[in-house]
Structure 1
Amino acid sequence: MAPSHATTHTIHLLEQATGIVMPVYFRPDTDPAFARSLLQETVALFVREVANPAHICLSVDGPGPAGETAHAVAAELGLQVVQAPQNGGKLAALRRGMQHLLQNPDLRYLAAVDQDGDHFGNELLNFVRCAEHVAQVQQTDRVLVLGNRLSRHRPLGFLRGEQEELANRMLVDALTYHAARCGRPLVWQFAAVDAPLPDFHSGYKLFSRTTAEAVFTAPPNLAGCSETAYYRHACEAVMIVESLQTGAILATVNRRTFDEQPTSVFATMDRSQLAADMIIWPCKRLEVPGPFVAQWLANHLPTLLLGTLAPQGQAELLAIQERVLAAFGQPMPAGDAIRRPRFI
């Protein structure tokens, strides 16, 4: 087998054996010219990376203007399109697109990328190189490569950056708890070597074929949560958890991002419930008892810089805490402030 660092080998895999799924959704009030321009520019970054444009699948999430836009761009560039009859959320669109591309037996890797231009096609080669390295070193066909953003706060803004920081820390706790209970240590030697923890909620991911089959063709496990929580709010956590549950080895590569995203559907969501669901689903799926969830929240909330933005920051964190604790039948601590040390 070619060494994992061999440039020609990796380029061949990227060009000939890598599929790309891009969920497509635009709000009904989105300017059609803007939508088409954004999608064209984003797709153009990836068309140049693969030998066959049909290895790229635009997965339209429901009816509406996104379908017309996607079909027009696909016809122009030779891409594939699948479209859901109803809007189901990002994860539903990814499942549909992945299942479609998995019909091609020649694809060894499948990437999930966003439509907003924040995922750069020229960096996909590093994802494939990383995946090949892990596969060879560990002798496995189960790999998930996660694109670590160099900053979360800059592209997301301070509030969402802090929300994701909290969700990431809680996910580490939940995964560690579950690993200890199951007697299977987490294999993280390829993940976040130069960062405190992986950027779990980054949307730029590369799955080995075996991992993609396990994650995107298995029946969905809502773990007692709502479809909104599973398919929309916690979709990135779902892909992480289900990959690891099937034995995938997590690896990370650093990636670039814009200082400001051109568009985001998250701006229209209930931000407190969004952040809460990013915590609730993985903790439910990994069968974490309520008292543990409550204490982990109590541990992490005082450490977040968002709490120093008075009074709005603390109110945001308390709203998340209230929703998470309610989902696990745990009472809110008395008082209207985060419990923290008196001095630092």
Structure 2
Amino acid sequence: MNVVVSDPILASISRTIATAADGINALAGCLEDNAALRRSFVDAIELVASKRGRVVVAGVGKSGHIGRKIAATLASTGTSAYFVHPTEASHGDLGMITAEDLLILLSWSGETVELGNVLTYAKRFNVPVISVTSNADSTIARNSTIPVVLPKVPEACPHGLAPTTSAMLQLAVGDALAIALLERRGFSAEDFKTFHPGGKLGSQLLLAHELAHSGEAVPLLPIGSPMSEAVIQMSSKGFGVVGVVGGDGELVGVITDGDLRRHMSQSLLLLTVETVMSHMPRVITPGMLASAAMEMMQSQKITVLFLVDDVGRPSGILHVHDLLRAGVA
């Protein structure tokens, strides 16, 4: 829906965004109503998943820029892919494409001349081709193994020339293919981390046990221990908390600074830990994402979490400062 504004700059921006949204909605509607398009998407996913080689993406101009992004998204989500420029392909880079590979060709018109040699090469060596065009009768669509034909939508450009809405639709298709393949393969957050070890994303994909303290650093005492030992543990280990373990080594409670304040009296140090501890402590598993641990700490207004195994035995301790130092926020 267009927003009515008087400023010509804002009116232009509003019109462009509305046109882009209309284009995406047209694609979604076409996918819902067009059985052939649905079949093309499913066949494309099955074809990519069945190939042993890599996905080679090619396109010219704005389609080329979109193609680079599609290849990068595929590669980062578990589908080996790279981009080949059609001009460079005609000057030797066709040798990078093998019979085990698969081609994705992007061309809104379906008549991009520079893709001709790539298409001929694919025919000669039986390399399957998935094309993304808006013209089912185009040369590229007709010579593709699987043509994905998108609805013809207006460009945001007032002259109908600059690829805008069309580029967005191509990008949406690439993202849709990548995510469908990710889900089909069961590509996990741990798998994602393998391809994204650096930067903010890498820190968000760290696991709790990778940042936690373990071994002698974990403040633990058995049931029956005097509170005098608990205070020493809380102070010497530096976490302001001590875990209490039962006879089988399971974590049965925790003592925090708050528990000390609530039980403050002259006889506090003579009490045993189970009379002061909080029961049913909040815990996490070693394989939990560090970002999820941070969210849990923030939502429950706590600064420390114990890591426990599948039978409840503590294996580590994680402090909010550990998460902040690693860039998890």
Q: Please, what TM-score do these two structures have when normalized by structure 2?
A: 0.24
- Between the two structures, name the one with larger relative contact order (CA 8 Å, sep ≥ 6): 1
Q: Please, what TM-score do these two structures have when normalized by structure 1?
A: 0.24
Structure (1 or 2) with the greater strand fraction: 2
